[in-house]
Amino acid sequence: MAEQYKSLHPIKYYRDYLAHGIRPDGREFNKFRPILLNVGSIDTADGSAIAKVGNTTVVCGIKAELCKPKPDAPKCGFLVPNLELPPLCSPKFRPGPPSDQAQVLTQLIADIIENSKCIDLNDLCIFQDKLVWCLFVDFVCLDFDGSVVDACIVSLLGALKTAKLPFVEYDPALDNIQVNMEERKHIKVHSTPVSTTFAVFDDKVILKDPTQEEENLCSGILTVVFKDDELCCVHKPGGSPLTQEELSQCIEESKERTLFIKRLIDTAV
């Protein structure tokens, strides 16, 4: 009976649960789902990690390539994130070119990386104006069950902290590149950004770490990213309005979670 009720009146179903201060998956409003991180999962990539937030699963792989820097920024390397949402991860995605949502999330991840300055692009320089590293950071979502950005950022940090770049020698006189695959070294990761997603249900209840179902039914989403003690992104792309107090409360709550996740990443690495 509950099944039919849920599919006929999904919002009402949720309201009934939330009125009792509990979510259908048994969590309280401010509880997050278990997080799992596995690093170095893919041999062929220069750095990789799999992160699981509840059911949401994201694989992150880093591939490094050598390229020439832009003339206006001769010392800067490149970091190109890309999130793929294949039909595999949720029935709402179709095969073909990246959907709008994938593009929006990719941009959000790129913004977070830039704002948190976790990678200094100058570190990726091998020889000024001639040779720099270009890191392709690819995310593939295997299971799309809400709070994808959280999972992406956890897997990103896992992958970045384990990524090793081969040693490259460049001779500017001969334009000769020698790559030593054996001798590898880590990329310097300057900070650990941690993202927390909230969903606003019915303009009043704020749910932490929402599932896909909750994200679909709710009226607004908020993503807060902490970098150590500083905020580096408070992203709320429209949706139901929040008061300043509610917003501050969300920020406070995400700060607590930041510590746990940071410890998780450090332990995994």
Partner 1 sequence: METVTDKTNISCKLGILSRPDGSAILSEGNTTVIAGIYGPVEVKLQKLLIDKASVECHYRPKSGLPGVEDRLYESIIRNICETSFYASLHPRTAILVTIQELQNSGQLISCAINAACLACLNAGIDMKFMFSAVTCYMNFEDDLYLHCASGKETKAMFVFVFDSTEKRIIASHTKGSFTKEQFEEAVELSKEGCEDRFTYYKKVLES
Partner 2 sequence: MSVRKTIISNCEKKFLLKNLAEWTRLDGRAFDEFRPVKINFGKDWGSCHVSLGKTSVLAQVSCEIQQPKSSRPSEGVLNLNIELNPLAAPHFEAGRQSDLSVQLNRLLEKCLKDSKALDLESLCIKMNEKVWAIRVDINVLNYEGNILDCASIAALAALAHFRRPDVTSDGEEFIIHNVQQRDPIPMVIHHYPVCITYSVFNGGEFIIADPTLLEEEVADAFMSIGLNAYKELCGLHLGGKAELSPDLILSTASKAANRAGLIVQQIKECIEKDTQQRLLRQKQSFSILDITNDSVSGDIEALLDPWTASEKKHKKKTKKEKEHSNMVDTKIEIDKPTNGVELTKIGEGTVALVPIEEKDGTAIWEVSDSDDDDNDEVVVIEVPKPVVNLLDVNTDSEEEAVTILNADEKTKKKKKQKQKK
Question: What residue ranges bind partner 2 (CB under 8 A)?
Answer: 21, 28-29, 71-72, 202-205
Q: Confirm if 200 and 219 have CB atoms less than 8 A apart.
A: yes
The rounded distance, in Å, linking the Cα atoms of 151 and 53 is: 6
| Cα→Cα distances 29→25, 136, 209, 224, Å | 11, 36, 9, 17
Q: Confirm if 78 and 132 have CB atoms less than 8 A apart.
A: yes
What is the enclosing helix (H) or strand (E) of 249?
Answer: helix 244-268
Q: At its nearest, how many Å lie between partner 2 and the CB of residue 20?
A: 9
Choosing among partner 1, partner 2, none, which partner's interface includes residue 97 (Cβ < 5 to 8 Å by kind)?
none
71: Cβ contacts below 8 Å, ≥ 6 apart: 129
* Window 192-251: residues binding partner 1 (CB under 8 A): 219-220, 222, 227, 229-244, 247-248, 251
- Reading the block at residue 234, the tokens are 């408070």
**Residues contacting partner 1: total by CB under 8 A:** 37
DSSP helix/strand/coil, 24: coil
Choosing among partner 2, partner 1, none, which partner's interface includes residue 132 (Cβ < 5 to 8 Å by kind)?
none
Closest CA to 128 of 192, 195, 75, 80: 75
Choosing among partner 1, partner 2, none, which partner's interface includes residue 233 (Cβ < 5 to 8 Å by kind)?
partner 1
Q: At its nearest, how many Å lie between partner 1 and the CB of residue 247?
A: 6
Q: Which is nearer to partner 1, 37 or 232 (CB)?
A: 232
Choosing among partner 2, partner 1, none, which partner's interface includes residue 91 (Cβ < 5 to 8 Å by kind)?
none
Choosing among partner 2, partner 1, none, which partner's interface includes residue 219 (Cβ < 5 to 8 Å by kind)?
partner 1
Q: Which is nearer to partner 2, 168 or 205 (CB)?
A: 205
Q: Give me the residue label for tokens 């107090």.
A: 245
The rounded distance, in Å, linking the Cα atoms of 215 and 197 is: 10
Choosing among partner 1, partner 2, none, which partner's interface includes residue 258 (Cβ < 5 to 8 Å by kind)?
none
Residue type for position 12: K
The rounded distance, in Å, linking the Cα atoms of 9 and 15 is: 10
Q: At its nearest, how many Å lie between partner 1 and the CB of residue 220?
A: 8
Q: At its nearest, how many Å lie between partner 2 and the CB of residue 217?
A: 17
How many Å is the maximal CA-CA distance in the chain?
77
Identify which range of 47-55, 96-104, 136-144, 170-178 contacts partner 1 by CB under 8 A: 96-104
Choosing among partner 2, partner 1, none, which partner's interface includes residue 247 (Cβ < 5 to 8 Å by kind)?
partner 1
Residue type for position 140: V
Please give the residue ranges that form the binding site for partner 1 (CB under 8 A): 100, 103-104, 106-108, 110-111, 114-117, 219-220, 222, 227, 229-244, 247-248, 251-252, 255
